[in-house]
Structure 1
Amino acid sequence: MKHDIFYTPQEQYVGMPHATMCGDFMPYYWQKEFYLFFLKDECVYLTRTKDFVDFSEARMVIKRGGDEDQEWHVGTGSICRMGEKFYFYFTGFRNPETISSENHEQVIMRAVSEDLLNWEKDSSFFMVPDQEHCADGHWRDPDVFWNEEMNKYVMLVTATEKEGADDRRGCTVIYTSDDCDHWKFYKITYAPRIFITHECNNAFKMGDKWYLIFSCFNNWWETRYRYADSLEGPWTEPANDDMFDGRQFYAAKTVSDGTHRYLVGWQSVKRDCDDAAKCIWGGTLLAHELMQKENGELEVKPLETVVNAYSEKVELIPHGEQGEWKIDSIITGEEQQGFGWCELGELKPECMFETDVIWEKGTRYVGIMLHTEDRNLSKWCQLRLECCRNRMVMDRFNRRDGDQSYIEERPVDFKDNKAHIQIFMSGNIIVSYVNGTALASRCYSTGIGGIGVFVENGKCQYENYHLIEKNN
């Protein structure tokens, strides 16, 4: 069993080949256990967990085909159950050298199992692109489920419209079936003429709303969502935030145990473990619990089982370094002319920090200093709450001239000048939650280091602060 909330079957190393780490998790819940299928080395693997803390050893369940086969590479799909059998619908990617008018690049294929562990490819099922209603090319990522309202099985397909502006024809198509064998076109349910395509579609109902989750790569890797009163739409874009996490959280799909619904995706890694390098496909598992707000929009929080995996409290000895600090059960900091910070203590290899912060009106920035190397802050990461802009930012010491990558940011609703912060740290990954908003990031160039709090151009208080180490 692997005991790490950021699961990966293989740790990253410098020079690691493309698609070697895991990605595109396809979760399925069965008999009190989560079956997490994922892509690795162009094949499908499986790990199982009951709590997203302990994971079984990965096993290959669907092997890629040969150079002449349609499933030269196996791509994303989903699992459904009919009768006593499980059906795994997946994408078969053909070798580019063998593509022709008869041999499509992408075809929807299927495997069958009786126990979710042993799968056999079903050569009788071969769903080619529907060129009557869609363009050839993008035709993948089938999301199959039973729809009680329609009394039919439903398949969502990632596709593109036949006509329209370049790179704006991405759409989500619905097909229906009575038997999981024969599928009929139902409608194009979402075609906003914004994205290249909608990867890894996933639809579900929560309360009285339907939700459509998809991932896109127009500018960055992003997982987005829309909501509606019906699976048929029309779909509404959330007013302020249609994402769940930052621009390195991708291909997320949801799974429910009947009580909770979890969003399961992957946090990408950077080439050669270099902060300034580009992200590459694959990474580590990252799961959030979805929560429905009164207005129908969604927010996220850490899984309760994950929070409970941290119970060993770490002693903190706060010490003001710059600015004016009053140290007690509540830490009060003030610096009206720039940056001030207070060192708290040393981090652990796997730990969680939690606090509530309150600031005076007019304060510019507050937040947490992470992986600090020394009192002079020669190395650091920083979770910065920009009170004046209603956003959170993850920054680091080496984002300097020559590293003009995008800002790792998320919009946050700061009510009453306060925020609740939870940060999970393990190796180079940092996952922060602030007021129902998540932001995951990585920093390769720091050690474990220390932790502190800061204020910039203002005054604030940190309450209920504690650092907790993960259980062995």
Structure 2
Amino acid sequence: MKGCDLIFYTPENQYPGMPHGEMCGDIMPFYWEGRYILFFLYKYCIYAVETQDFVHYGKCRLVLQNGSPDEQDWHAATGSVFHHDGTFYFYYTGFCEGNRGVPGKYEQAILRAASVDLIHWTKDTGYFFPPDTRYYGDRHWRDPHVFWNPELKRFCMLVTATEKDGAVLRDGCTAVYVSGDVKHWEHYKTIYSPRTFPTHECHDAFQMGGRWYLTFSNYSRWWETRYRLAERFDGPWEMPDQDDMFDGREFYAAKTVTDGKKRYLVGWLSIRKDCRDDGRFVWGGNTCVHELIQREDQTLGVRMVEAVRRSFGLELPIQVHGFEGVWKLEETLQKQSEEKQAFRKLLTGISGDGFGWASLGELKDPCLFEATLRWKPGTKAVGLMIHVSGEKLERWCQLRLELTHQKIVMDYYNRIDGDQSYIDERPVRFRDGEARVQLLVSGTIMQVYVDDVALTTRCYSAQSGLIGVFAEYGTVSCVEPRLLGQ
């Protein structure tokens, strides 16, 4: 199987009607000796692919083959890899749907494999960790996440579990088991049980800047990856005031990995059924990576991976054409060094009575656009026009910075006539009348960063055309717009 250099890794090319199992899901990132090894679910087995920069990926390889329909790992599923005392341990989930309701058997159980080289893995057939019904329910029991806890000075395993006698679809909880050798585990406690979600999937826990963070995913309303923060591992775990997500409603099952300097959040971006804009989002898709940052208030934000940004080094032409509103382009010569000078571009648009926009150039695939957007007080919305085509705006996508509502929204030309699909949106605290905006397009994917807030989504029916800037009921300035290719 061939790897890819298209930023958003997946082992299969998208095609209409992609079935469950053909897509990349539940990525389990592991860092070792200068490389990131992304273990992931694929064809009901566990595979791995390696990268050093989240730009270039090698060929994927089979790690754990699933078993027969009569074995516990009929579907080999999510877990984590940990190194200790010369051995790599892979704790993973064994799914066997045929066991549901069968006395003495379990639909989900935690299994283990071991390796000395991260290539060849041996299943530990003597290890079997079924639901611990002393403390928890007997069905949801999966996604073991193992890490060293410096506060407890023990190895910890987070487990997706449910309260033993909890309310229906509100009994999801985070179970913790501890060990001194990564082999034998004993119950510690339930560290988070908010009585809100049916499950907390694909957990992660880590320290950053003196605080603890707990991440988990939930599918009860939409695909979503959330987080909580605490001063101590035992809690109490608090929900951030404004925003407890990292990306939009298609970013799922994200877990973190660190090289000791930076920490990255690695999840997957869902694909729509039949690869249509009106299809429902289904399980699995493309790898999606953000760098995590800690804000001054200790909440978490994200930004583009620096190696991804550097991979776009080809300067593409900016060509301004105003369509609606009044637009003015100013170029001033800026001295950057004794040897180098450059023109600083400033595009200003006024559209006081409604929508106005100007094009800036042609989007290639893949392509990166970046600029600083500024606006005058009272302006209702500014943003980017994306994949624009047609003399009368027949096709387009639109990144909206809704200034009054303090949020960003991704809108589409074909969201009309009773289309009930949800809006892709994220809350943002706009400050000082400006925001740094980056847009990365690759195939069907559009990934946006507005300051330290991300929104990644897809459009299938509009994948080429113009990039532009717009204003609604006010004035926008586009400072130093840059269009970059690879």
Match of 2:26 in 1: 24
Match of 1:334 in 2: 350
Match of 1:141 in 2: 143
Match of 1:451 in 2: 467
Structure 2: distance between partners of 1:141 and 1:347: 40
Match of 1:382 in 2: 398
Deviations 1:238-295 (A, max 9, x none): 0100000000000000000000000000000000011011001100000000001122
Are the aligned partners of 1:221 and 1:250 in contact in 2 as well (CA < 8 Å)?
yes
**CA displacement at 1:95 relative to structure 2:** 3.0
Structure 1: distance between partners of 2:84 and 2:325: 64
Are the aligned partners of 1:142 and 1:157 in contact in 2 as well (CA < 8 Å)?
yes
Match of 1:210 in 2: 212
Counterpart residue identity of residue 434, structure 2? K
Deviations 1:297-333 (A, max 9, x none): 1000001011000000100110100111112221110
Specify which of 256, 259, 262 is matched with residue 260 of structure 1. Answer: 262
Whether 2:467 is the aligned partner of 1:465: answer: no
Counterpart residue identity of residue 83, structure 2? R
**CA displacement at 1:94 relative to structure 2:** 0.9
- The within-5 A match list for 1:366-445 is 366-445=382-461
Match of 1:154 in 2: 156
Deviations 1:127-170 (A, max 9, x none): 01000000111100000011222221100000000122211100
Are the aligned partners of 2:177 and 2:189 in contact in 1 as well (CA < 8 Å)?
yes
Counterpart residue identity of residue 447, structure 1? Q
* DSSP 3-state at the match of 1:306: helix
Q: TM-score scaled by structure 1?
A: 0.98
Are the aligned partners of 2:99 and 2:106 in contact in 1 as well (CA < 8 Å)?
no
Deviations 1:422-469 (A, max 9, x none): 010001100000010000010000131111110011111110111000
Counterpart residue identity of residue 268, structure 2? W
Structure 2: distance between partners of 1:60 and 1:87: 16
Match of 1:220 in 2: 222
- The within-5 A match list for 1:21-60 is 21-60=23-62
Counterpart residue identity of residue 60, structure 2? A
Specify which of 357, 360, 378 is matched with residue 373 of structure 2. Answer: 357
Structure 1: distance between partners of 2:101 and 2:123: 21
Are the aligned partners of 1:90 and 1:110 in contact in 2 as well (CA < 8 Å)?
yes
Are the aligned partners of 2:80 and 2:90 in contact in 1 as well (CA < 8 Å)?
yes
* DSSP 3-state at the match of 1:342: strand
**CA displacement at 1:97 relative to structure 2:** 5.5
Match of 1:242 in 2: 244
Are the aligned partners of 1:321 and 1:375 in contact in 2 as well (CA < 8 Å)?
no
- The within-5 A match list for 1:83-98 is 83-96=85-98
Are the aligned partners of 1:373 and 1:447 in contact in 2 as well (CA < 8 Å)?
no
Structure 2: distance between partners of 1:79 and 1:465: 42
Query: Unaligned 5+ residue runs, structure 2?
Result: 331-344
Counterpart residue identity of residue 8, structure 1? T
**CA displacement at 1:224 relative to structure 2:** 0.1
**CA displacement at 1:230 relative to structure 2:** 1.2
Specify which of 107, 114, 117 is matched with residue 116 of structure 2. Answer: 114
Are the aligned partners of 2:99 and 2:107 in contact in 1 as well (CA < 8 Å)?
no
Structure 1: distance between partners of 2:172 and 2:433: 40
**CA displacement at 1:227 relative to structure 2:** 0.5
Structure 2: distance between partners of 1:140 and 1:208: 29
Structure 2: distance between partners of 1:220 and 1:52: 26
Structure 1: distance between partners of 2:152 and 2:243: 30
* Distance change (3 Å), C-alpha of 1:97 and 1:131: closer
* DSSP 3-state at the match of 2:307: helix
Are the aligned partners of 1:68 and 1:98 in contact in 2 as well (CA < 8 Å)?
no
Q: TM-score scaled by structure 2?
A: 0.95
Runs of 4+ in 1 over 2 A off after TM superposition: 95-99
Match of 2:361 in 1: 345
Structure 2: distance between partners of 1:15 and 1:468: 33
* DSSP 3-state at the match of 1:272: helix
Structure 2: distance between partners of 1:339 and 1:283: 35
CA RMSD in angstroms comes to 1.0
Counterpart residue identity of residue 68, structure 2? G
Are the aligned partners of 1:39 and 1:45 in contact in 2 as well (CA < 8 Å)?
yes
Structure 1: distance between partners of 2:55 and 2:166: 45
Structure 1: distance between partners of 2:242 and 2:203: 21
**CA displacement at 1:180 relative to structure 2:** 1.8
The count of residues paired between Structure 1 and Structure 2 equals 470
- The within-5 A match list for 1:263-302 is 263-302=265-304
* DSSP 3-state at the match of 1:406: coil
Deviations 1:23-64 (A, max 9, x none): 110000000000100001110000000000110101111011
Deviations 1:206-253 (A, max 9, x none): 121010000001111100000001111110100100000000000000
Structure 1: distance between partners of 2:95 and 2:447: 33
**CA displacement at 1:376 relative to structure 2:** 1.8
Counterpart residue identity of residue 434, structure 1? V
Query: Unaligned 5+ residue runs, structure 1?
Result: none
Counterpart residue identity of residue 157, structure 2? M
Are the aligned partners of 2:69 and 2:98 in contact in 1 as well (CA < 8 Å)?
no
Structure 1: distance between partners of 2:195 and 2:476: 45
Structure 2: distance between partners of 1:2 and 1:19: 19
Calculate percent identity across the aligned residue pairs. Answer: 49
**CA displacement at 1:3 relative to structure 2:** 1.0
Match of 1:168 in 2: 170
Deviations 1:180-219 (A, max 9, x none): 2211110000000011110001001112101000000111
Structure 1: distance between partners of 2:129 and 2:414: 49
* DSSP 3-state at the match of 1:2: coil
Structure 2: distance between partners of 1:156 and 1:428: 35
